[in-house]
Structure formats: structure tokens, C-alpha cells
Amino acid sequence: MKKGSKAAEPDTNGIVSGSPPVDARRIDTRRKYDPEQTKRNILDVATQEFSAMGLAGARVDAIAERTNTTKRMLYYYFGSKEGLYQAVLEKVYGDIRALEQDLHISELDPIEGMRALVEFTFDYHDRQRDFVRLVTIENIHGAKYVEQVKTFKGRNVTVIHTIEDLLARGIAAGQFRSDIDPIDLHLMISSLCFHRVGNRHTFGTAFGRDPSHPRLRARHRAMIVDAILRFVKKED
């Protein structure tokens, strides 16, 4: 340093004056980058894209753009468009199964537990339209992609165990019939809750009434709960 010259001092951002320019935003982005959050964001947007457009119509470029990522990054995380679609299916089925477990139905009286399960199932299908559409789309594919998800069967069996426990406790308490198959009961509950959302367009066109309309919601919810409870209850 020449005599009398002044040493470079940091500016207000902590960058030494006279040093090469630094893009503070890039530094901040690197510091805040969270791979798991990025994957969650991608899955959330992909859920909307696949449910709206189907597997064939969905565009990976559109998902990348909406998540401020790149097509290359999506393939890095999920391998392919089909891999991303499978991850979406795994997520949406995992979400409903996890929320069912959060109900802690095993701690409730059998009748109240059955009521809580049916009400939850109704509410979930009513609010999560993307889930209903994705299930419909995957059925069009003959479950080709979801059957390749290793966790699929193990994750979904939890709801059957919940129903088995409810039925066993209800039978022991003299409240429920003893001839009900838990998978058949799950089918019945799911069918009633799924149909009013999944088939609302064709049903509405045929009969002039949208079964998913908000003004019908409370009536249909009570009707389905009543139907299931009447079905499982032991006759006096």
C-alpha cells in the first residue's frame, strides 16, 4: 500500500469497497435454498397441473415456471414426468391417510368414531377436488402408475385397520352388526362421498342439480352419515 493511501473499508452491506461486485441476491438465494421445501412446492403445483390436465396434457415446463425452478431440476428430483405424477399420487393418498390417523378414532366411542370417520371423508372429498380428479384420472390409466408406488398398499391399509378396530369395538359393545366386511364398508363410505364430487357434471346435466353445490352440502353430509350409521348398527 502506498504511503498516505487509505485502506478499503467495508460498506454498509459488509462488502469491501473496491472489491469485485457481488450479487447479494444470489448469495441470499443460496443461503435460503431448501431442497425439501422446493420439492414440496413442486408437488403442490404438479398436483394442480395433473388434476387439471391429466398426465398426457400436463406440461413439465408449466410446473417449472410456476415454481421458479427448471425442467432439469424437476427431472433431477423425480426422474421423469411419469415419476413426478407418481410422486403426486403418493402424496395425495398419503395426505388423506395421515389426516385420518390424526382423528384418533380409536379413542372415541364406536358410534362417534364411525360418525367422525364418515364426516371427515365427506369433508375431504368435498374440499379436495384435485384429489377426486387425480383418482379418476388414475382409474382411466387402470392404476398403471399408482401400482408402481412401493408405499401405496401399505399406506392405504391403515384406513382398513381403523375400520376393523371400530367394528370390533362396536360389536363388543353390542352396538354394531357382526357381519360387515371392513373393506366393503370403506367402499361404501368412499363411494357416497366421492360420487357427488366426481360425477357432479354429468349428474347435474342429467337432473338439473349439482350435488356438490354448497346449499346441498349440509343435507348430503347428514344423509350419508345417517346412512352409514343405520347400516352398521345392530338391530334391537
pLDDT digits (tens, 9 = 90+) for 160-210: 999 999 999 999 999 999 999 999 999 999 999 999 999 999 999 999 999
Compute the mean pLDDT over every residue in the chain, rounded to the nearest whole number. 89
| Share above pLDDT 90 across residues of the chain, in percent, rounded to a whole number | 82
Cell of 158: 391403515
So what's the pLDDT on residue 24?
44
The confidence band for 72, taking pLDDT boundaries of 50, 70 and 90, is very high
H, E, C per residue of 2-60: CCCCCCCCECCCCCECCCCCCCHHHHHHHHHCCHHHHHHHHHHHHHHHHHHHHHHHCCH
Q: For residues 120 and 112, what is the distance between their CA atoms, to the nearest angstrom?
A: 12
Residue 186 and residue 160 in contact, taking contact as beta carbons nearer than 8 Å: yes
pLDDT of residue 35: 83
Q: Give the per-residue pLDDT at 33.
A: 63
- The domains located in the chain, with CATH, are 28-232 (1.10.357.10)
Q: Buried b / exposed e across 84-103, counting CB within 10 Å, b at 16+?
A: bbbbbbbbbbeebbeebeee
Distance CA 156, CA 222 (A): 26
Q: Is the pLDDT of residue 15 over 60?
A: no
Question: Do 170 and 176 touch, CB atoms closer than 8 A?
Answer: yes
pLDDT at position 32:
61
- pTM of the full structure: 0.83
Which cell numbers in the block locate residue 50?
A: 395433473
Average pLDDT over residues 43-60: 96
Least confident of 15-24, 48-57, 117-126, 129-138: 15-24
- Give CA 99 to chain center in angstroms: 10
pLDDT of residue 3: 45
Q: Return the pLDDT at 1.
A: 44
Note the pLDDT of residue 34: 80
Place 80 in a pLDDT band, splitting at 50, 70 and 90: very high
